[in-house]
Structure 1
């Protein structure tokens, strides 16, 4: 009979020395790595909660060798990396991917740092109710009336009709037939259409066809820069030919942009149909004439909204968010260099209200709503950066970086960029240690994104050394969405590096400067490839070039960046060239 196991003496394992620390065999991964005691509380153990660290558990393995669904969990905040770890990255994704440690790969697999950033990012009191859509119309009407005086325009319009929202049952004798809702006997024929949509294509005049084509060929691709499905170029025009609000706002933004670029071939427009008093032989009068055409369409958009805004189905429709984004784009082209409390700033907040009321976000199942959300946040990031405020979104993505496609990676960097703009906002209430940790988490998120890039983000053309007389070497990344994503990455990294405090001494300073120099060279190299008529790329370049100028102290490089930025603004016509003066004044103030 075998003896009981209790009577069998077991050899005693050697105890690790105090210098090496005791190795934990249970508990969360963070405590095991630190060799500290863990109480194994989930989702966050007490040790990680006390030290404000990311708490991760290894996935449980079932009998088939697959992780169980509840085998891991993560905390609400990520582990602040050290200064060296946060800054170490590479300009080459292929090289960078090789440097990712096993621990880092496991952490990225479990979660992504940017998914753990605090939210909401706006004050709770400022979050509107789901019934805020009518207030957006009030903003539109107020700004439209103010613009009459701003441009000294003489339009045959009744201002009083724009100062209030009208009944959702329009008077058929006083409005354009295209604005009317279908009659009851027509509803059976258009059962698949909403009341506020036209069952047949809305006819376009020759002039409107010119404007429509300008939107499809120029403005749509600008708005779709980060979206390879091209929803705002392909799907939105299809809505416009059946919805007067979308159509009028599309024509308004097209005419407003044409007034900015003022190219001779655009003089084919017959402006007389829009009650514009102008001498078409006067070349200098063309921009103002087209501006009045744009304003006329803007008011016709408001007229349509006043008739349909109170229909519950319309306030929840794709058409209203499409109209809102187009009007915001109109205000973008119409905006001056300062945005605080301006029309564009207020309309960005108005779109925030509408997006909230529809629960739209960057991961909507509807590709058009998703594209509209990203188009809106892209505009808001620039205004927030220039006004030193936080980005308006309160949404956080749910997908991990490891699960994103290349096209989704282009969108994710925009979200991370928004978090970096938040970090740079003029709301620095936290202590220096907290801001160092926050900046470190952002740098880790940027690093993880860069490491996740596939080889397709590599340049297809890159000169190793600048040509004689140039300070920067051209870099060509294709397609344009990938180039824009890289520009956004460097824009975001520059913002964090110049706003993050440092206690690392000279070594940390040299490391920061090395990465700032790398970002400046990459940003300027990509911008050098867009000096033709590449409107798409230029709209990503001007933001990155401006940020590059903020971290350059060498006078020769400052001059080169200023020259690149000026040529880029010649293409975009937005923002105004006062941006050049802002950068020059910033350099003078730093001397």
Structure 2
């Protein structure tokens, strides 16, 4: 019988469904990827010459198929190259193929997603490709030629009830039926076949060969599609939202006892696609950082977990790919939700969410300011800002602190537009809504931490008093926090948020101090006004404000447990004691706040400006001053590390990286430094937070000074 090559592409490009240039001996795509090209295997597939030929050779083909058991993997995966059914049935029937393609043409949703994903943000595409290649190599190594890839069993994936969206891999496009959510009553098992459109795909008339390598490749491709690209199923969304509610939402509710992100955001995500996909993106990103491992406080000792608490083969799933896919879906839903009265630019998918929301707010101010009775704009603005806060955390969770400011530079114009929108309303509300406040304090906390790492001023200016008043702080015209707190029923929230405002002032002081030092070292042009260093009066003002804060803090900000000499259990049975205490607070927000307070006092102690009046006049006075500084530095370092050693809840631990990094500059003993490195490593291992860059910087710093 006549035969033709089934595919001229190399084995690597054919397996990954990529367009191959067929260059000999190695294709250009493999050369660019830096991998060895596996070469070209010219398998043959016979041309279907009609019903007479099929009847003529039917007995041979039937005997060959009967070699496999009815439920064997080989029989299950021997389908047409143009369609793969979830139940293992072939889709070579021309009538069924035409009917399905007509349904596919009726809904261009998959095509729009494919075209839009090609314009997806560049950094995520690079990250996507790296993880795709790593995952492909992992499956290639795991599945030997004598052992076919694992078959998808009905219990390995929960029912595919919802439509799912796919991020394309180069030229491969995944098409789904637009009318049924992955189900078709006419199909034997209620599952509509998945069809792959590929440049090198054979026509439906061709009958695939029974080559074992080809069968294994089809199984691997099918397994990869189901485990990685299938998003928005009911089980997966439930698993990710629950993971967000139990693990990640407390990070965002650190200074909010009403638990807005853990309580209200999942509820509002029921009817808001933008919020739902934002939650899923952040949860998947955290799982990717954890390599699929989950650990919640509700684990039972004698009971099995609920279905929505588990995910099959979570450690083998490419969560980075899922996170990027959900991020893209969140951005597109955000843009579509604003398109009723505002049309985002074609490059909106490349912008940060805060920038796009700011443009929408400016449009509302210029065209249709909300009335006193119309709260639809306020609700939409709150929902958009909430989702943007979640997506900002999505960006920061895997980035070093030096890069945080690039993701927060739109916060200032966003809140300025929001303030202007409030002023344009007839009733002129004085404070933000509950959700807007919760988002503001998260961005403000991230802003001052980014300022400390980069030594640049914060975006949210602490001298912009109307902004901080709208966020809930009663600041008078002199820039002081009022002692009257009758309007704040949650003292812990008020104390934590007011400390965040003070920390913003401290990091701006450090940024000014650093800029003035650089200005003295690097000569400026004669026309440039030199930058004067911060004065002693500003330093004293900050110190007094911090002291006033600690004098008025609630009783809950006192530690309920303290071990001054905890025993080092890692060195049993010999008796050894830790050089730092363990300090435990009953509320994680109080532990985080007190650690921030000691960090602020440590920063001010090490950066006190000198002047002719306050500086010591004799050598003995200067030596005595150095001793006082050393004593206070040792005390602050022990308090900061002691709070970390008590291992508070995760919402307090994720923000410890900056404080431990600052403390590491003051440690000299190897044992103390190792304890600090273990704390940083534990944050990264337990929470998926990026700490490796800080660890490497501290090691380099200590190596230079040894």
Q: Which residue of 1 aligns with 2:335?
A: 306
Q: Which residue of 2 aligns with 1:68?
A: none
| From 560, 563, 579, the counterpart of 1:460 | 560
| From 387, 403, 422, the counterpart of 2:484 | 403
Tell me, in whole angstroms, the C-alpha distance in 2 between the residues paired with 1:304 and 1:175: 20
Q: Which residue of 2 aligns with 1:321?
A: 385
Q: Which residue of 1 aligns with 2:451?
A: 384
Which string of whole-angstrom CA distances, capped at 9 and with x for unpartnered residues, describes residues 461-515 of structure 1? 1123343331011111121111110011112222222222343422332222222
| From 462, 474, 481, the counterpart of 2:582 | 474
Q: Which residue of 1 aligns with 2:640?
A: 523
TM-aligned CA deviation for residue 243 of structure 1: 1.2
Higher mean C-alpha displacement, 346-355 vs 323-332: 346-355
Q: Which residue of 1 aligns with 2:602?
A: 494
Q: Which residue of 1 aligns with 2:272?
A: 243
Aligned residues of 2:411 and 2:443 also touching (Cα < 8 A): yes
Correspondence list, 1:324-343, <5 A: 324-335=388-399, 337=400, 339-340=402-403
Tell me, in whole angstroms, the C-alpha distance in 1 between the residues paired with 2:445 and 2:119: 25
Q: Which residue of 2 aligns with 1:393?
A: 460
- What TM-score do you get using the length of structure 1 for normalisation? 0.61
Computed over aligned residues only, the root mean square deviation of the Cα atoms, in angstroms, reads 3.5
TM-aligned CA deviation for residue 413 of structure 1: 0.9
Tell me, in whole angstroms, the C-alpha distance in 2 between the residues paired with 1:437 and 1:157: 57
Which string of whole-angstrom CA distances, capped at 9 and with x for unpartnered residues, describes residues 307-329 of structure 1? 23353466961111011101101
- Choose between structure 1 and 2 for higher RCO, CA contacts under 8 A separated by at least 6 residues: 1
TM-aligned CA deviation for residue 421 of structure 1: 1.2
| From 592, 617, 622, the counterpart of 1:484 | 592
Aligned residues of 1:381 and 1:391 also touching (Cα < 8 A): yes
Distance 1:282 1:230, change over 3 A: closer
Which string of whole-angstrom CA distances, capped at 9 and with x for unpartnered residues, describes residues 188-233 of structure 1? xxxxxxxxxxxxxxx9711100000011101100111122121111
Q: Which residue of 2 aligns with 1:350?
A: 410
Tell me, in whole angstroms, the C-alpha distance in 2 between the residues paired with 1:383 and 1:145: 23
Tell me, in whole angstroms, the C-alpha distance in 1 between the residues paired with 2:119 and 2:451: 23
Aligned residues of 1:524 and 1:561 also touching (Cα < 8 A): yes
Distance 1:175 1:449, change over 3 A: farther
Tell me, in whole angstroms, the C-alpha distance in 1 between the residues paired with 2:432 and 2:384: 18
Distance 1:338 1:143, change over 3 A: farther
Tell me, in whole angstroms, the C-alpha distance in 1 between the residues paired with 2:549 and 2:604: 15
TM-aligned CA deviation for residue 384 of structure 1: 1.8
| From 530, 551, 567, the counterpart of 2:666 | 551
Tell me, in whole angstroms, the C-alpha distance in 1 between the residues paired with 2:307 and 2:535: 54
TM-aligned CA deviation for residue 282 of structure 1: 9.4
Correspondence list, 1:54-453, <5 A: 144-152=121-129, 156-157=166-167, 205-264=234-293, 283=315, 285-286=316-317, 289-310=318-339, 311=341, 312=364, 317-335=381-399, 337=400, 339-340=402-403, 344-359=404-419, 364-394=431-461, 395-396=464-465, 397=468, 398-399=474-475, 400=481, 402-404=483-485, 405-425=491-511, 426-428=514-516, 434-453=534-553
- What TM-score do you get using the length of structure 2 for normalisation? 0.51
Aligned residues of 1:480 and 1:536 also touching (Cα < 8 A): yes
TM-aligned CA deviation for residue 450 of structure 1: 1.1
TM-aligned CA deviation for residue 453 of structure 1: 1.6
Tell me, in whole angstroms, the C-alpha distance in 2 between the residues paired with 1:590 and 1:499: 20
Give SS of 1:575's match: coil
Q: Structure 1: where are the runs of 5+ without partners? A: 1-139, 160-172, 178-202, 274-279
Number of residue pairs the alignment of both structures matches: 397
Which string of whole-angstrom CA distances, capped at 9 and with x for unpartnered residues, describes residues 97-149 of structure 1? xxxxxxxxxxxxxxxxxxxxxxxxxxxxxxxxxxxxxxxxxxx9987343112
Distance 1:589 1:416, change over 3 A: farther
Tell me, in whole angstroms, the C-alpha distance in 2 between the residues paired with 1:141 and 1:245: 21
Q: Which residue of 1 aligns with 2:218?
A: none
Aligned residues of 2:684 and 2:690 also touching (Cα < 8 A): yes
The reply to whether residue 561 of structure 1 matches residue 628 of structure 2 is no
Q: Structure 2: where are the runs of 5+ without partners? A: 1-116, 133-164, 170-176, 182-231, 296-304, 342-363, 365-375, 423-429, 469-473, 476-480, 486-490, 520-529, 568-575, 617-621
Distance 1:376 1:174, change over 3 A: farther
Distance 1:142 1:582, change over 3 A: farther
Aligned residues of 2:515 and 2:531 also touching (Cα < 8 A): no
Tell me, in whole angstroms, the C-alpha distance in 2 between the residues paired with 1:233 and 1:281: 26
Give SS of 1:151's match: helix
Tell me, in whole angstroms, the C-alpha distance in 1 between the residues paired with 2:257 and 2:179: 39
Which string of whole-angstrom CA distances, capped at 9 and with x for unpartnered residues, describes residues 225-263 of structure 1? 122121111122222112111111111111111111234
Tell me, in whole angstroms, the C-alpha distance in 1 between the residues paired with 2:589 and 2:650: 12
Aligned residues of 1:228 and 1:481 also touching (Cα < 8 A): no
| From 576, 579, 582, the counterpart of 2:697 | 582
Q: Which residue of 1 aligns with 2:26?
A: none
Distance 1:265 1:377, change over 3 A: closer
